[in-house]
Amino acid sequence: MTRRPPNIVVIMADQLAPHFTGTYGHPLVQTPHMDALAARGTRFDAAYCNAPLCAPSRFSFMSGQLITRIAAYDNASEFPASIPTFAHYLRQAGYRTCLSGKMHFVGPDQMHGFEERLTTDIYPSDHAWTPDWEMPDERIDKWYHNMDSVREAGVAATTFQIEYDEETAFFARRRIFDYAMDGTAPIAMVVSFIHPHDPYVARPEWWNLYGHKSVDLPATTAADDPHSRRLMKGIEADVVIPTEDEIRNARHAYYANTSYFDSKVGAVVQALEESGHLDNTVVIVTSDHGDMLGERGLWYKMTFFEPSARVPLIVAGPGVARGEVAEPCSLVDMLPTFLDIARAEPEFGMPIDGRSLWPLATGAATSGEGEAICEYCAECASHPIFMIRRDVNGGRFKYIHCDVDPPQLFDLEADPAELTNLAADPNHNAVAEAFAREVAGRWDSEAIRRNVIATQHQRRTVHAAMEAGALTSWDYQPKRDASQEFVRNHMDWTEAAEKTRFPPFARD
């Protein structure tokens, strides 16, 4: 008999940089559940998002395509229903597909291949957050990041983010047990949390894990490249200078919320174990992007420096080897990886940009062909910005290009803090020129820019119309029928008790 393919459970953070986790070597931050998964699985040490912003990154993750292929430019870009996702392909392969938590879908399709969605989303699903590249120096105060998250960091009993993540974990855990009681298999579930995304506010029990004075301050000085200056202005860090204590507060809360997220990793794994699913489930932990967290004077994301662009990626489960992988990879690689795990060979509805990481996760030798291709086409910019991360001639190189900025080249092996731009270094001419030729051949930057501006016009027009008259909301409304929950008069309560008990009572 052919053994059924394993379950796939993805646990996703928001804005979690691997640099600030114990799993990736931070000496202070406590992440025991991520540590445990990494200890019995594979930790990818050079995993990147494909766009350092929430919605574009998630659309790439879902579709296996770069954002410029699908016009997923910013947090108000529509994710069209016609784009196939890994949820569609896994559903075709016989998986029950389920989403609990955030995915930042924009547009009327709020499912994108998931058969079930257990919660609403945390952010708007319309075009309200559309940037304006024709007025790139104008801040949109209603939704642009500013420094309030840093200056107001600290402790609270609850926040909208805490409430959201508690709900996300609760419904995911309940559904895992439902699957066990119903005998449903295989399953593909994404459990996606909002922490440790700013605002940097933590509950006391997580804050108190860390002595305040032990929280480290940013190690690197202010950046002086043009895009960093644009970001500084965009988040008002050029005029609102946080004090050392405010910076430490923000990092303290971020560390606390990283531990909080880690506890949710533990809760999901515990539910898989108690439901009998764990031994046949591949568990993946990742994030949509990182957080600068004050490094270089920058906060949040939107840049290709390592704390913003890199993500954790941990894979554990049946068949997964123990070890670390240094080869570069990115979130577009997840779709083909999931299909390999599922042993599925669908006919692709669109070409994909990623490659399967399953061979590396199961112990294959690194190929030396790994890369991460990243793009940014959102706020605090006026032209597309591209990044290529690839190992070349023994160096771990990152090349960044924007038509209106000087190029940047960093050797992450020799210069992990990215302090020395080698683009004009005579000793690196060949590498820099090769990357420059690749950028010119891979992207038509001006055409992309024209399309970004065109879609911004379209979206602003649609949003203005949707704000006039009666509201037609695209926000997902979770389906619940309270008349069928718990115990009702049309049920035998003893049967209800028996049906919802797991493991079931063993009768003689």
Tell me: the pLDDT tens digits for 403-420? 999 999 999 999 999 999
- The more confidently predicted of residues 504 and 459 is 459
Lowest mean pLDDT among 135-149, 246-260, 430-444: 135-149
| Residue 501 scores a pLDDT above 90 | no
Asked whether the beta carbons of 59 and 103 are under 8 A apart, the reply is no
Question: Is residue 482, in this structure, part of any structural domain at all?
Answer: no
372's enclosing H/E stretch is strand 371-376
**Among residues 404, 398, 488, which one has the least CA distance to residue 446?**
404
State the residue for tokens 């911004």: 456
Q: What is the pLDDT of residue 152?
A: 94
Instruction: Name the token pair of 298.
Output: 């920058």
- The per-residue pLDDT for 486 is 86
Q: Which pLDDT belongs to residue 434? A: 97
Query: What rounded mean pLDDT belongs to the chain?
Result: 95
Q: Is the dihedral of CA 14, 17, 20, 24 positive or negative?
A: positive
Q: For residue 507, is it within any domain?
A: no
pLDDT for residue 2: 54
Any domain includes 327 = yes
- Segment 14-36, tens digit of pLDDT: 999 999 999 999 999 999 999 99
- Quick one: how far is CA 446 from the chain centroid? 28
Q: How far apart are CA 242 and CA 44, in angstroms?
A: 34
Tell me what percent of the residues of the chain surpass a pLDDT of 70.
99
Distances (CA, A) of 101 to 10, 161, 195, 443: 11, 11, 11, 34
Pick from 383, 370, 423: which is nearest to 399 by CA? Answer: 423
Q: What was the pLDDT predicted at 220?
A: 81
Q: Work out the number of other CB atoms within 10 angstroms of the CB of residue 45.
A: 17
DSSP state of 321: P
Q: What is the average pLDDT across 463-485?
A: 91
**485 or 265, greater pLDDT:** 265
Indicate which CATH number applies to the domain containing 363: 3.40.720.10
Q: How confident is the model at residue 222 (pLDDT cuts 50, 70, 90)?
A: confident
The type of residue at 313 is L
Whether 431 is covered by a domain: the verdict is no
Residue 8, pLDDT above cutoff 80: yes
User: Looking at the domain assignment, is residue 442 inside a domain?
Assistant: no
Percent of the chain with pLDDT over 90: 87
In whole angstroms, what is the distance from residue 443 CA to residue 245 CA? 43
pLDDT(464) > 80: yes
CB-hemisphere CA count at 13 Å for 440?
A: 7
pLDDT of 496 strictly over 90: no
Catalytic residue among 19, 88, 104, 428: 104
Three-class SS of 417-438: CCCCCCCCCHHHHHHHHHHHHH
Task: Examine the residue annotation and report whether 104 is marked as an active-site residue of this protein.
Answer: yes
Please determine, for residue 394, whether its predicted confidence score (pLDDT) is greater than 70. yes
Average pLDDT over residues 273-281: 96
What tokens were used for 118?
A: 């257990």
User: Where is 12: in which H helix or E strand?
Assistant: strand 7-14
pLDDT score at 1? 42
Q: What is the mean pLDDT of residues 350-363?
A: 96
Number of domains in the chain: 1
* In-domain check, residue 115: yes
Strands in 144-289 per DSSP E = 154-155, 187-196, 201-202, 281-287
Residue in 49, 54, 98, 402 annotated catalytic: 54
- What average pLDDT does this structure show over 107-127? 97
Asked, for residue 139, whether it belongs to a domain, the answer is yes
Write the burial class of residue 367 (CB in 10 Å: 0-12 exposed, 13-18 middle, 19+ buried): exposed
Structural domain range at position 238: 7-372
Amino acid letter, residue 220: T
What value does the mean pLDDT take over residues 443-456?
A: 98
Q: Residue 55: is its pLDDT beyond 90?
A: yes
Q: Taking CA 408 as the corner, what is the angle to CA 403 and CA 409, rounded to the nearest 5 degrees? A: 140
Q: Is 98 a catalytic residue?
A: no
- Residue 30 falls inside a structural domain: yes
Mean pLDDT score, 162-166 = 97
So what's the pLDDT on residue 508?
Answer: 66
pLDDT at 241: 93
Kindly calculate the radius of gyration of the chain based on its CA atoms and give it in whole angstroms: 23
Residues 6+ apart with CB under 8 A from 32: 22, 262, 266
Span 244-259, average pLDDT: 97
Read off the pTM: 0.96
